[in-house]
Structure 1
Amino acid sequence: MEIKGKKAVVFGGASGMGRASAELLAARGADVAVLDRPASAGAEVAAALGGHFHPVDVTDFEATESALAIAVEALGGLHVSITTAGGGRAHRTLGRDGPHDLDAFRRILDLNTVATFNISRLAAAHMSRNEPEDPEHTGERGVIVNTSSIAAFEGQVGQVAYSAAKAAIAGMSLTMARDLGSLGIRVLAIAPSLFDTGATDRIPEETRAALVKDAAFPRRLGRPEEYAKLALAIIDNPMLNGQCLRLDAGQRFAPR
C-alpha cells in the first residue's frame, strides 16, 4: 500500500515504538492520529506531526470505539492501524503467596489481547468502506499491524499471563487475515524482543547487557525506529499477510 496520503491511527503512539511509527508514517506523507492515555505526551507528539491526538484507555472498550470513530472522522478515513499499546507484570503460576491471581491474569489479557482484537475489528469495519487501491493489482483497502512479543514463543519465568496474551495476538493474525482477505485488508503482528522504550529506561546498563547476551547480532536492545521501519515495510509490501514477524536480532529468551 502506498503510504503517502493515507490515513493512519497509532494506538500507543505517544511513546516508544508507537511514537516512532507515528513519526515515520508522517514523514512518509500519511495523515496520522495518535491515540494514547490521557496523561501521556500524545498531544505534544501529535502536534509535532501535524496530526491529531485522541485520549483513550484501550481497556475501556466502548470508549475505544468512540475514540476511534472520532479519529477516523477527523482524518477523513482509515487505511492503516498500528497498535503497540500493552504491557504486563511478572507473576508465577504458583508463587510464595499462592496461585497466580486470576483477576491479574484477566487484566493482562484485557490490556493486550482483548484491546488489540477490539481495535482490529473496529479498524477493519472502517477500512471496509474504502475504495480499493489499485484494484487491477492489489485491491487493498487497509493494513492492520499489531504487536506481539517473543515472549509469545519463549516466555520467561513469571510471564505466564503476558506470554498467553502475546501468543494470542500472534495466533489471531492468520485467522483474522483470512477473515478480512476478501475485503482487501491485511493483518500482521510484530514480535519484538526487548526494546529501548519507557518500560526499559530504569534497567541498569549491566542488566541490559545480560538481557541481550543470547542475541545473535546485534547484542543490544532494539530501537523504536527499527520497529517503525518494519511496520512501514509491512504496509508497503502487499505480499506480507497473516503472520507474526519476529524482530529480535536472533534472540531466544532463556527461562530467566
Structure 2
Amino acid sequence: MTYTHDQIAAAIDHAILKPDFTRAAVDAELDIAAQWGVFSVCVRPSDIPHAVERLAGTGVAVGTVIGFPHGTTSTATKVAEVRQALADGASELDMVLNIGWLLSGMDSEVEADIRAVVAAADGHIVKVIFETSYLDDDAIVRACRASEAAGADFVKTSTGFAGGGATVEHIRLMRANVGETVQVKASGGVRSLDTAVAMLDAGATRLGTSASATILAEARAVDEGAAATGAVDDSSY
C-alpha cells in the first residue's frame, strides 16, 4: 500500500521515555512532535502536566506509560498510576502486562490485571505492551486473547527497553489473533520510513518511535519528489 506523509504522521506516537532525558531534552522532543504533526506523544508519567501545557493548541495528544518498563508492579499500583495520569491530562495509556505471569501460564491473572487498568481508564484508550522479544508465538497469541477479553483497545509489541522490537511477523501474528475492534501498535526499532511502511502493511495502525523526524522527513521527501515529477496526483509513499 501507499501512504501519504500525513497518514504516517497520524499513525505515530512519538516516544519521549528515556530515563536520562532532562527537561530541555523533553522540550526538544515535544517540539519535534508539534513540528511534524504526529498523532501523540508518549511521555514519562512525571512529564504529563508539562507536556499537556507545552502541546496545548497543537493537536498532539499526550499519552503515557503504566507499569513501565517491566510490567511487574501490582495491579493496585497500575490502577493508581492510571488515575494519576488521567488527572494530569493524559488521554492514552500504554500498559505493560505482567510478563512473568504470562510466561507462567497465569493467563487469568494477566487478563484480570489488564481488565483493572481498562476499568480505571474509564473509556480512555488502553494499549497493552507484550514485550514480544521475550515471548514465543504461543505466548503472543495468549496475550492477544487476554488483552481482547479484558477490553483493551490495542495490543503493542515492545517497550523499546528490552532489546529486540517489532517485527513484521509478530505484527501479522497479533493482527490475526485479535478481532476487528482491537488495533495493533508496532513499537521498538521503527526508525526508518521503510520499516514504518512495512509495519503498517503488516496490520499495525499505530507506530511507537523516537525517530519521528527521520521517518517523516523521508516521507516528505518522497511526497515532494513525486509531486515534482508529476508521477501522481496525490503524492504518497
TM band (smaller chain): 0.3 to 0.5
User: Would you tell me which structure has more helix in proportion to its own residues?
Assistant: 2
The normalised TM-score by structure 2 is: 0.38
Scaled by the length of structure 1, what TM-score is found?
Answer: 0.36
